[in-house]
Amino acid sequence: MVWDAWGAPSGHKPLPEQIRGLLAQVFGVSGEPVTRRDEGDVPLRDSALTPEQHAGLSAVVGTEHVRTDHRDRLRHAGGKSTPDLLRRRVHTPQDAPDAIVFPADHDEVLALLRHCAEQSIAVVPFGGGTSVVGGLDPARGEFATVIAVDLGRLDTLTDVDPISGLATLGAGLSGPQAEELLGRHGLSLGHYPQSFEYATIGGFAATRSSGQASAGYGRFDDMIQRLRIATPTGDLDLGRAPASAAGPDLRELFSGSEGTLGIITGVTVRVHPVPETTAYQAWSFPDFATGAAALRTVIQAGAAPTVMRLSDEAETGLNLARAGDIGGAAVGGCLSVTTFEGSAAHVASRSAEAGELFTAAGGTALGEAPAREWEHGRFQAPYLRDALLDVGVLCETLETATTWANLDNLKAKVTAALTESLTAGGAPALVMCHISHTYATGASLYFTIVGKQASDPIAQWAQAKRAAGDAIVAAGGTITHHHAVGADHRPWMTAEIGDLGVRVLRAVKQAVDPTGILNPGKLIP
């Protein structure tokens, strides 16, 4: 990815005139983008890696796989949240890892962690670089030196078991790489988060990622059968069968551990045959409450599509402003998109059942075009975010989840907190929301916030984020549904799991990482 924005250079395009006019009208900005800096002009803090430390790391992975050049350090200096990108626009020296190390396999990762523990070198595991919660910040903690361990060389499909529907994937494989390798065997993982093009298998596991097709295939942690993990005190190979009563499931400790308890090097996951066919259907609902009730009815009836999403009135309206009538259909109220994957018979049966339930719940069918258009552009939203940042418009996202009974309350409280915080200075702000993932007992809410940047947009967003986080906790939601904890959500972890829960995490940390080198400042309060 480019160093100061999301994705590939080819994805970055000027804002359309229609959007620039809307920005001028609502936020009073010209729409003229700022001049981007060359990455060579970005000052970094001097590397603290000593010649002796460089030699020690080289002895583990080879000299050519230890890098301290400016380009590699800058590109491993954090994730892709709005604050991450705003920090890269300031002219003060940037924090960056002192070195980037590229191990080849599990054994090298294990040896590297043992060496770093002995030498008091902090370690930040690095996959695709897509964290939006500060999970990749090169925090040193009490250590003088911090390195990023890039897992990009762990990029193989090591085993396929088509009889059991399992595949073992290297932690460094990106989403597209994994799908390409599985596709050669007629198989698919079907895990498509918005970060799919760049995020990695290890990252999916370490953050409890949830893909856009979670209604059909589940979250990534639902797909995991086996984990291979390297820690400073040894390695773990967890998961022998589809289910077990052999005590607490230790996979749960490391799925979602965000590199604080060990480095995941290999993952055995549930896979399925490449779908025979896909059907698409979009729906309109008169309001968000009606649409949410319809989604609840479908998921609780066991008729869930593979993808099922619902945008609120504000998000639906903005989508219309961006693209005109979606798919040629005049859409009011709230737009829902669904897709159905599988055999022709399965798709026909499931889509017919869901369609009857949606209609009975007050939905109006819009045909397949809006759902196809959503799928075509589903990985492009971060590019629009970056284009807005370039013209002085703040754009960021956050997410949470709760029960169906509490959904309206949580949405209202978070929307109010964000709106009040962002408009306190007198500038307008737009808070949009959609349901991105559904369960029998509840759903996730994904908020997108757009507003005029203040003179200090980093502080502006930090204040809004605090207000939203406090509102989420007070309203009974989880502080994160799939973005993970990182550094950004860590202040709310004690409220999430309680004092005793924090002590449990610290005890596990002491057992596997007694020197505390693994990803300091993340997840564990």
495 and 472 Cβ atoms separated by less than 8 Å: no
Q: How far apart are CA 267 and CA 257, in angstroms?
A: 14
Residue 134 CB contacts under 8 Å (≥ 6 apart), including other chains: 78, 79, 81, 83, 84, 486, 487, 488, 522
User: In Å, how far are 23, 236, 283, 430 from 319, measured between CA atoms?
Assistant: 14, 46, 14, 13
Cα–Cα nearest to 74, from 116, 12, 136: 136
| Residue owning tokens 């990106």 | 174
472 and 479 Cβ atoms separated by less than 8 Å: yes
For 396, the 3-state DSSP assignment is: strand
Cα–Cα nearest to 199, from 266, 100, 130, 268: 130
Cα–Cα nearest to 393, from 353, 430, 348: 430
- Known catalytic membership, residue 217: no
Give the angle 458-462-464 at the CA atoms, nearest 5°: 120
What ranges in 224-323 are assigned the alpha helix state H?
251-254, 288-300, 313-323
Q: How far apart are CA 231 and CA 240, in angstroms?
A: 20
Q: How far apart are CA 162 and CA 75, in angstroms?
A: 38
Cα separation of the two ends of the chain: 31
Residue 91 CB contacts under 8 Å (≥ 6 apart), including other chains: 43
Task: Tell how far CA 445 is from the center of its chain.
Answer: 14
Catalytic residue among 192, 198, 383, 446: 446
Q: Which phi and psi (to 5°) does residue 126 adopt?
A: -135, 120
Give the angle 428-432-438 at the CA atoms, nearest 5°: 165
Strand pairing category for 442-452 and 429-438: antiparallel
Q: Which amino acid is at 460?
A: Q
Catalytic machinery residues: 446
